[in-house]
Amino acid sequence: MSTVSSSGIGIANLPNQKHKIVAKSGAHFTVMVVGESGLGKTTLINTLFATELSPPKNYSRRHMKQLDKLTEVEIIKAELEEKSFKVKLTVIDTPGFGDYVNNRDSWLPIIEFVDDQHEAYMRQEQQPQRSEKSDLRVHACLYFIRPTGHTLKPLDIEIMKRLGTRVNLIPVIAKADTLTQTDLATFKTRIRQVIAAQGIRIYQPPIESDDEPAADHARLLAEAIPFSIIGSTKDVQTADGRVVKGREYLWGVAEVENENHCDFRKLRSLLIRTHMLDLISTTEDQHYENYRQQQMETRKFGEPRPGKVDNPRFKEEEEALRKRFTEQVKAEEARFRQWEQHLIAERDRLNKDLESAHGAIKSLEAELDNLQVGYGRGTQRR
């Protein structure tokens, strides 16, 4: 049995999962999307809301400017409810960190955002009255990988390493419709190899041995990571007349919810149907606990966290990263310049061709004139 292909929101299944902790008051679940700009992060969020999550209650969006920070995140809140089981869903949309040349450190605030939520929660825990905590700890962090078809970039590796030790990291391949199925499969394998070789921690759906169908399902999900994603909120018509969410091409429609086209359904299932509570409890038991213990070891109770940037170890790392970024940008620029040179050479060559073509035309015209003159004389003679 695969719960992926069954219908319904699936939140009603949540109380049947291992942890029944939240059945009464409802779950707070926070998802964050991270990745270069233009990879379809916002579109994926909207696609989630446009498919099974709709119509959510109390849907709201707001911008949160982090003081002294470069990033502005958008926080989307919605309540989902099925059979009186409530989930307060928060999605954190980050603007992306694509523009290295102007803003090499634009990804740093994203890491800090995650730490800040742990920190804020920990501080609230230390307060005497512990009810009504506001909690934006990230339970699932979707990391968007550009569909190059090659492999992970050094930048991806650096960021994923840092995220993986802090949150449940779920890598996804953006815009899967831009790769052929064969290229997509190869790309996936390579990414998995790099993740393993680099020791990047990613979220692994636990395989429960006492529940055969659930174990099969978890295995299916685990094997699909990194999930390939097609995002679209548009209704389009397929060749066989179905109306689906998808992207239209001359060759046909790339369907969001077609398992032969991408892993959107698997991702959605993992997030809101089968593994939401596991994501919540691993965040609590592992990632938050890690943070708390580290902080307890390195500072006295109640003392504020030392500024990251002042931390010498961090500064060193940052310096190394900065260097690597600069090198990458330089390499890109060199490549671009080479390409530009090539274009200029090509243009010159074409200009020369044009010139000689002009020359040829001129001489042909001259020849033609001569011929006409000759012909004219000939006809005048009579």
Pick 14 or 142: Cβ nearer Mg ion: 142
Handedness of CA 180, 1, 280, 59 (dihedral sign): positive
Label residue 318 exposed, middle or buried (CB < 10 Å: 0-12, 13-18, 19+). middle
* Least separation in angstroms between CB 42 and ligand GDP: 3
> Considering the rule CB under 6 A, would residue 246 count as an interface residue with ligand GDP?
no
Strand order in the sheet with 169-173: 57-65, 72-82, 85-93, 27-34, 140-145, 169-173, 227-228
Q: Which of 10, 96, 164, 226 binds ligand GDP (CB under 6 A)?
A: 96
The angle at the Cα of 38, spanning 36 to 44, to the nearest 5 degrees, equals 95
* Residue 43 binding partner per list ligand GDP, Mg ion, none, with a CB distance cut-off of 5 to 8 Å that depends on partner kind: ligand GDP
Q: Which of 146, 188, 217, 247 binds ligand GDP (CB under 6 A)?
A: 247
* Residue 178 binding partner per list ligand GDP, Mg ion, none, with a CB distance cut-off of 5 to 8 Å that depends on partner kind: ligand GDP
**x/- site string to ligand GDP, residues 20 to 39, per CB under 6 A?**
-----------------xxx
Asked if residues 253 and 236 have their Cβ atoms less than 8 Å apart, the reply is: yes
- DSSP for 185-245, written as a single string: HHHHHHHHHHHHHTT---------TT-HHHHHHHHHHHHHPSEE------EEE-TTS-EEE
Closest Cα to residue 136, out of 121, 151, 148? 121
> Considering the rule CB under 6 A, would residue 226 count as an interface residue with ligand GDP?
no
Residues in contact with ligand GDP, counted by CB under 6 A, come to a total of 15
Pick 41 or 188: Cβ nearer Mg ion: 41
> Considering the rule CB under 6 A, would residue 228 count as an interface residue with ligand GDP?
no
Task: For residues 309 and 306, give the distance between their C-alpha atoms in angstroms, rounded to a whole number.
Answer: 8
**x/- site string to ligand GDP, residues 167 to 186, per CB under 6 A?**
--------x-xx--------
Pick 41 or 275: Cβ nearer Mg ion: 41
Q: Which of 28, 41, 162, 166 binds ligand GDP (CB under 6 A)?
A: 41
Binding residues (CB under 6 A) for ligand GDP: these are 37-43, 96, 175, 177-178, 229-231, 247
